Structure 1
């Protein structure tokens, strides 16, 4: 999510048409079906995550109470769990929702924010990981911490590693868990433990807006809700679409605040021609 502004010639060289077609198909179906996405996410990201889902055409439900999960979670199309503002009071609700989603065959997507920051946080993340998420999306440091099951010095929710530094860890984690693993950074890496692709869309200034990583994970949940059997393709498509929205939003932004608004507007108005023109998804060696 940290690449250069739009360069259409480069985009056309890097992207196979099947990927831009896939990205447009997923976005179109989200708009048509408006999947219901339950978000148990952090307090910082709720607003932007909900508005990202709405702009894409999905229906967000920011429902955290464990008392509501037995009645509500069976109605959802996908579950999104984010541990950014983790506490011992909300963790049982996260586990309960994930267990229920898996038991009824609904996909769930996991964002292990700052997984290596403390032993409590790491243990919680590993416990959630054992509940078989469909997709895990994190930065390089988070994915490495999960893969090694270890914690240490961190920069909080920021990554001390580039996404490519975590390639082997991502593949190992995918193989161990059966989840699709996405590592966001200068190149967004997506792997199922065998195949690996990179989504090259995005701009560096997205790092200056809190909760963009959380929001793209929510978007992944909406795309996966459309077709859980193709979670690998859905994840790549969501990352590319979000990155393109950022690139287009940056064209008229004056800084992080206006980019935040433009990002939502660009995602809402994104059309097929723009996805075909600007999508950058390619295999990684």
Structure 2
């Protein structure tokens, strides 16, 4: 499934509308291109719906919020729901401030995501469960299966909790991805990029659970291959090798 998904993404080159945070925009664009998708970033509310209509997937990432962007995200999300393209919501740092928490509620009141992707602390916060956090990062683990099940049921969506193991849930069915590498946690934006790749993977034909798991698996494999390179000495040398690995021929994927 991994090879067929990546080949299909590279054949179709889906245009993904990334409404994401300013810290990670360049990394997200380059990583999505390496995976096989095509990035576009438009945060103005005056054009967000029109850009979404041109796209095959939408990422809503609340990493660096401002009110105009929130309004644009809601307009884009509603448009995505109308035309039937996948929406990935990344509630970055949702437990960190009251404002972030309120924004998540506002988006979820008006937009139906295909998948909510976040760390344990972010997802737990959306359903009133407690997991220790520090800033926008989760420092606790919690019962990941219970967390994704609760999020999926409460919001009628897929849920993916990222971490040492990625745990997902679609309509009560739980799946686990064990690929990955600790160096992903030492570079800024690895989770944000994953949200964009999930939107690309979800844009092609196939079973939703299969597409999510295949994307997670390929992403983790790419990290493992990059980290195993003899010239990788830490996060600084890992990052460009990771982009290269995402762009590798998919025959190298398991």
- 1:54 counterpart residue number: 33
**Structure 1 residues 102-111 or 62-71, which shifts more?**
62-71
Q: CA RMSD in A?
A: 1.6
1:224 aligns with 2:205: no
Q: How many residues align?
A: 251
- 1:188 counterpart residue number: 166
- 1:246 counterpart residue number: 223
1:147 and 1:170 in contact (8 A); partners too: no
Unaligned runs of 5+ in 1: 1-21, 277-285
Report the Cα distance in structure 2 between the residues aligned to 1:82 and 1:247, rounded to whole angstroms: 25
- Aligned counterparts, 1:25-174, within 5 A: 25-130=4-109, 131-148=111-128, 154-162=133-141, 165-174=143-152
Tell me the alpha carbon deviations over residues 175-225 of structure 1, each in whole angstroms, 9 at most, x when there is no partner: 121211000011100111411111000011111100000001110010001
Taking a change above 3 Å as real, the CA distance of residues 171 and 154 of structure 1, as seen in their structure-2 partners, is same
Tell me the alpha carbon deviations over residues 245-266 of structure 1, each in whole angstroms, 9 at most, x when there is no partner: 0000001211101110000101
2:93 and 2:122 in contact (8 A); partners too: yes
1:182 and 1:188 in contact (8 A); partners too: yes
- 1:262 counterpart residue number: 241
Report the Cα distance in structure 2 between the residues aligned to 1:255 and 1:224, rounded to whole angstroms: 31
Residue 44 of structure 1, CA deviation: 0.7
Report the Cα distance in structure 2 between the residues aligned to 1:115 and 1:167, rounded to whole angstroms: 19
1:245 and 1:270 in contact (8 A); partners too: no
2:20 and 2:62 in contact (8 A); partners too: yes
Tell me the alpha carbon deviations over residues 217-236 of structure 1, each in whole angstroms, 9 at most, x when there is no partner: 11001000113x62222111
1:135 and 1:181 in contact (8 A); partners too: yes
1:35 and 1:76 in contact (8 A); partners too: yes
2:58 and 2:77 in contact (8 A); partners too: yes
1:204 aligns with 2:182: yes
2:3 and 2:253 in contact (8 A); partners too: yes
Report the Cα distance in structure 1 between the residues aligned to 2:17 and 2:36, rounded to whole angstroms: 14
Report the Cα distance in structure 2 between the residues aligned to 1:183 and 1:110, rounded to whole angstroms: 12
Report the Cα distance in structure 1 between the residues aligned to 2:148 and 2:7, rounded to whole angstroms: 29
SS where residue 128 of structure 1 aligns?
A: helix
* Larger RCO (alpha carbons 8 Å, 6+ apart): 1
Residue 271 of structure 1, CA deviation: 2.1
